[in-house]
Chains A and B, each alone.
Chain A
Amino acid sequence: MTQQATVVLGVIGADVHAVGNQILAHALEEAAIKVVNIGVMASQKEFIEAALETGADAIWVSSLYGHGEMDCRGLRDKAVEAGIGDVMMYIGGNLVIGKQEWSKVEDLFLKMGFNRAYPPGTMPEEAISDLKEDLALRGV
């Protein structure tokens, strides 16, 4: 990597689960990635504007309380309008209510414009290594 990658990190919607967010921030920093942490209860607009402002390479969205679908609808469209349509978007946490077949959940979120979606219990390291790969492909 020639320049330091930047990730906007936050928990979307009315979700207050803060512990995972802190752990992710820490893990990203450990991996020498610059973190712009907008914290819990972050709106779509805050994600997009933080990414725009900081020239972020990726947006990492967490959703723990089960209404990830509702909270994330239109996020990619907003990125397009804001001029960062090709920003990398990942999502993880407990994306839907209860236990549902992961492949279907993943499909739903990929269709919504996320580049990657992670099931509950994913270790941060797994996603960090994916991110490095994805960004390397883009020459970051």
Chain B
Amino acid sequence: MSRALLIDIGSTYTKARLFDLNNLTLLASGRAFTTIETDVSTGLSKALAQLPDWETADYKLACSSAAGGLKIIAIGLVPALTAEAARRAALGAGSKVLATYSYQLTGEDINNIIKEQPDIILLAGGTDGGNQEVILHNARLIAASNLKQPILVAGNRNAQAKVANMLTEAGKEIYLTENVMPRLEELNIKPAREQIREIFLEKIIKAKGLDRVNQLIDGVIMPTPAAVLEAAALLADGTEDEPGLGELLVVDIGGATTDLHSIATGNPTDGAVNWQGLEEPYQKRTVEGDLGMRYSAPSLVQVVGEKKLKRYYQEYFSEPLDDFALEEYLAKLHNQPAYLAQTAEEINIDSLLGRLAARLATQRHVGQLKTTYTPMGAVKSQTGKDLTKLKTVIGTGGVIVNHEQPDFILAGTSYQDLERPELLAPLAAEYYLDQKYLLAATGLLAGVAPDKALALLKKYLLKL
């Protein structure tokens, strides 16, 4: 019997699960508090103690979002070009982008970067053969600072050597990779993404003390969001032997953030449309730090507007929402990340917040169509991804999975829900639920046993 032990070391819980890969069944699961502050293997041992014969599993792999996950500062030149490309590379590697900087850094920027305590600094700027001045300036400031973090340089090829010299001479730990935007509008984030993963494996795991798990298991191999993205890509594209589901969107609404992963080219579905702006990554991840169900609930309500929220409440639940109840509940959510809705009203507010988080995150993730009326008639141009024809939307994460009506929340991703006709959101997608939280686990398995990982996903995804 072939078995896999797949672990998620989260910020609160360490969750371990043992799968039978022949019969595609979950054999057992265990859970304990994450103990990253002292010794992460203490919590892991407790979780493992709840599983039979885990020691002899064929694969023993973990992903982690403990100790803040993987935190990156992205630096580029023009906001819409190399700075955006650097940001996308960092997000695609499963990291949290603490901030994105463009143009010339200032001394104050450097102080802020130091305060933010990133794990990695991604330094880009200039196309190949293009601007060198700004990346050299920024490298000079970083060299003179007491930033100790690894610096990944992914800018103008012609400036790489000079940047590398400057930083190495200053005793910085540096890595070099291909430019995130070698030519205008051309996105090249794969090399940077892979290098970030490598730095994560080589350095960050150790720095965060996550290497202590190595005495028990094969190791932590990626940040949790990267595992989710891997699984989403596997599910969309399939393997050599088994077809995938095709283009899809994964929605993960958490307490603090809402993550969307689309695996789709996003090409215009209307032949007459021309695409403008930066190329879109096929595997695209966006993270909304102001949209969440607990810690970020107040900021979510602020984005929507209280008036509108009440209007929606009336519309969906056919009764008014009390001012005081809302305020009180929001304060509770912000301060108690583990709070579970009790009253019917609280449950309704939760449903509504979930739907709105999905809606706003979709608004920001998808592309838009702009129509310009010219003497030649209407001319349409698209920026970002066109997901109108996308057929599969998958909900994951505690909020959606534990909800009584997950499809109510997922409907927030639909074109009809966005109330903005220019946005290219799915018109008629089918909704699925990651009911057994398999995405991160199968993402871990995707690298070593892709067919099994895909089979598990297909077996347990619940069609709504």
Using CB atoms and an 8 Å cutoff, list the residues of chain A in contact with chain B. Answer: 14, 44-45, 48-49, 52, 65-67, 70, 73-74, 77-78, 80-85, 97
Closest chain A CB from B137 CB (angstroms): 13
What are some 20 contacts across the A-B interface (CB < 8 A)? A48-B184, A49-B184, A52-B130, A65-B375, A66-B374, A67-B372, A70-B276, A77-B78, A80-B77, A80-B131, A81-B77, A81-B126, A81-B127, A81-B130, A83-B127, A83-B129, A83-B131, A83-B133, A83-B156, A97-B375
Among the listed B81, B132, B181, B374, which residue makes an inter-chain contact with A83, where contact means beta carbons less than 8 Å apart?
B132
Chain B residues near A67 (CB-CB < 8 A): 372, 374, 379
| Cα of A78 to Cα of B85 in the assembled complex, Å | 13
Counting CB contacts under 8 A, is B320 at the interface? no
CB-based contact B129/A77 at 8 Å = no
- B374 CB contacts on chain A under 8 angstroms: 65-67, 97
Q: Are A80 and B129 in contact (CB under 8 A)?
A: no
Task: Give the residues in chain A near B29, CB-CB below 8 Å.
Answer: none
- B residues whose Cβ falls under 8 Å from a Cβ of A: 77-78, 80-82, 126-127, 129-133, 156, 181, 183-185, 274, 276-277, 370, 372-376, 379, 381
User: A60 → chain B, closest Cβ, in Å?
Assistant: 19
B80 touches A77 (CB 8 A): yes
* Cα(A77)–Cα(B278), bound, Å: 12
B131–A66 contact, CB under 8 A?
no
**Would you give the shortest CB distance from B398 to chain A, in whole angstroms?**
40
A78 to B82 alpha-carbon distance, docked (Å) = 10
Q: Which 5 A-B pairs give the minimum distances between C-beta atoms?
A: A83-B131, A83-B130, A82-B130, A77-B78, A81-B81
For A97, the chain B residues whose CB sits under 8 A away are: 373-375
CA A45 – CA B78 in complex, angstroms? 15
Select B184's contact among A65, A66, A73, A82, beta carbons within 8 Å: A82
Residue in B131, B277, B375, B376 whose beta carbon sits within 8 Å of that of A82 in the complex: B131
- Select from chain A the residue with minimum beta-carbon distance to B76: A81
Using A45-B184, A65-B374, A66-B375 as known contacts, say yes or no to A81 and B129 having CB atoms under 8 A apart.
Answer: no
What is the total of A-B residue contacts with beta carbons within 8 Å? 64
Q: Cβ of B126: which chain A residues have Cβ within 8 Å of it?
A: 81-83
Asked if residues B80 and A74 are in contact (CB atoms below 8 Å), the reply is yes
Q: In the complex, what residues of A have CB within 8 A of residue B129's CB? A: 52, 82-83
Bound-state CA distance A97–B131 (Å) is 35
Residues of B close to A66: CB separation below 8 A: 374-375
Which residues of chain A are near B80, meaning CB under 8 Å?
74, 77
- A residues in contact with B78, CB < 8 Å: 77-78, 80-81
Q: Look across to chain B and name the residue whose beta carbon is closest to the beta carbon of A70.
A: B372
Closest to A44 in B: B184
CA distance A79 to B372 in the complex (A): 25
Closest to B79 in A: A77
Expressed in whole angstroms, the Cα–Cα distance for A44 and B77 within the complex equals 18
Q: Are B81 and A77 in contact (CB under 8 A)?
A: yes
Residues of the A chain whose Cβ atoms lie less than 8 Å from the Cβ of B372: 67, 70
Most A CB atoms within 10 A — which of B133, B370, B375? B375
Give the residue among B129, B130, B181, B183 with the most A Cβ atoms within 10 A.
B130
A81 touches B184 (CB 8 A): yes
Tell me how far the C-beta of B182 lies from the nearest C-beta in chain A, rounded to whole angstroms: 11
Contacts of A44 in B (CB 8 A): 184
Residues on A with beta carbons closer than 8 Å to the beta carbon of B127: 81-83
- How long is the Cα–Cα vector from A78 to B276 in the complex, in angstroms? 13
In the complex, how many angstroms separate the beta carbon of B367 from the nearest chain A beta carbon?
A: 15
**Is A81 touching B131 in the complex (CB atoms < 8 A)?**
yes
- Which residue of chain B has the shortest Cβ distance to A49 in the bound complex? B184
A134 CA to B357 CA in the complex, in Å?
Answer: 52
Which residues from chain A contact B376 at a C-beta distance below 8 Å?
Answer: 65
In the complex, how many angstroms separate the beta carbon of B380 from the nearest chain A beta carbon? 11
Q: Given the complex of chains A and B, what is the CA–CA distance between A4 and B132 in angstroms? A: 26
Residues of B within 8 A of A73 (CB): 276
CB distance from A100 to the nearest CB of B (A): 14
Chain A residues near B181: list those with CB within 8 A: 81
C-alpha spacing A81/B80, complex, angstroms = 10
CA distance A83 to B134 in the complex (A): 9
**Residues of chain A lying within 8 A (CB to CB) of residue B370:** 70
State in angstroms the CA–CA spacing of A44 and B275 once bound together: 13
Q: A48-B184, A74-B277 are in contact. List 12 more A-B contacts (CB 8 A).
A: A66-B375, A67-B374, A70-B372, A80-B77, A81-B78, A81-B82, A81-B130, A81-B131, A81-B181, A83-B131, A84-B130, A85-B131
